[in-house]
Structure 1
């Protein structure tokens, strides 16, 4: 239980670290490449890893209140789609950076032989950092389709 509470705490702290790191790299030349990352392009694989369940949890629990800028209204304006995609990229990259930070912590735990702690930390990290990033990547692909349709 102690491992779980610490893992949740460090992962939530990594969200803030990810936002800070994002602010530092957003003007770098490689940022465009980062904002277009797509780890899993297959809808079938996304479904197999439970991304649909994760999406339902985000939409129907308190997580829906976390990033209010990532919402699509009924009436669609192309400019709003670009802004929405930008906000999704910020979230995606921030979560990936947070994932990397927590992975380093877990790696240190593995090096020092605390395997169970490292495994719990990585499990929490996957759910609270990697899955949100994968969800944003899936949503950005959907937004890109809408941008192509409305442009």
Structure 2
């Protein structure tokens, strides 16, 4: 019975996570038209590189880069040095917020299913939700931090050249 609940919850969680990507994109499209979008576009849950490493973001990044997931969002690929980092950062923000919305959506469903079906079912739903929604969002936040550093360096370089330094 326990194994059955775990398998069913995990399978349902995978299905809900795929559905949540669509829900996330739709709700993100609506959120973009509000004044709150600017506030949520600069979220930074984990500022510590060491903590990112401990929870496996580096391994997750490898999986995304070396499996079929690499084909999902081609707009956030950095293919050459002259790429528009501002545009790539914007696409990362879209992806990050869509995944966060998806994560919240599945978390609400998992909470409901924990009450109606069983706690194991709901907890098992959260495993794919974390891997398919939370981790991609955290990865985008890490990548945005790296892009921000590069953009800030470019701004400082341009400012220093303008001042004759």
After TM superposition, the score normalised by the length of structure 1 is 0.95
Which residue, 37, 40, 52 being the options, matches 1:34?
A: 40
The separation in 2 between residues aligned to 1:141 and 1:121, in whole angstroms, is 30
Tell me how many residue pairs correspond in the alignment. 149
Q: Indicate the residue corresponding to 2:144 in structure 1.
A: 140
8 Å Cα contact 2:10/2:127 also seen in 1: no
Which residue, 121, 134, 139 being the options, matches 1:130?
A: 134
The reply to whether residue 54 of structure 1 matches residue 37 of structure 2 is no
User: Which SS does the other structure have where 1:69 is aligned?
Assistant: helix
Q: RMSD of the alignment, in Å?
A: 1.0
After TM superposition, the score normalised by the length of structure 2 is 0.87
What pairs with 1:41-80 in structure 2 (closer than 5 Å)? Answer: 41-77=47-83, 80=84
Per-residue deviation, residues 70-111 of structure 1 (Å, max 9, x unmatched):
01122235xx11100000000000000000000000110122
Q: Which runs of 5+ in 2 are unaligned?
A: 1-6, 156-165
Q: Indicate the residue corresponding to 1:117 in structure 2.
A: 121
Which residue, 13, 16, 20 being the options, matches 2:26?
A: 20
Q: Indicate the residue corresponding to 2:90 in structure 1.
A: 86
The separation in 2 between residues aligned to 1:67 and 1:82, in whole angstroms, is 16
The separation in 2 between residues aligned to 1:138 and 1:85, in whole angstroms, is 11
Determine which structure has more spread, i.e. the larger CA radius of gyration: 2
C-alpha deviation, 1:140, in angstroms: 0.3
Q: Indicate the residue corresponding to 1:101 in structure 2.
A: 105
Q: Which runs of 5+ in 1 are unaligned?
A: none
C-alpha deviation, 1:30, in angstroms: 1.2
The separation in 1 between residues aligned to 2:58 and 2:152, in whole angstroms, is 24
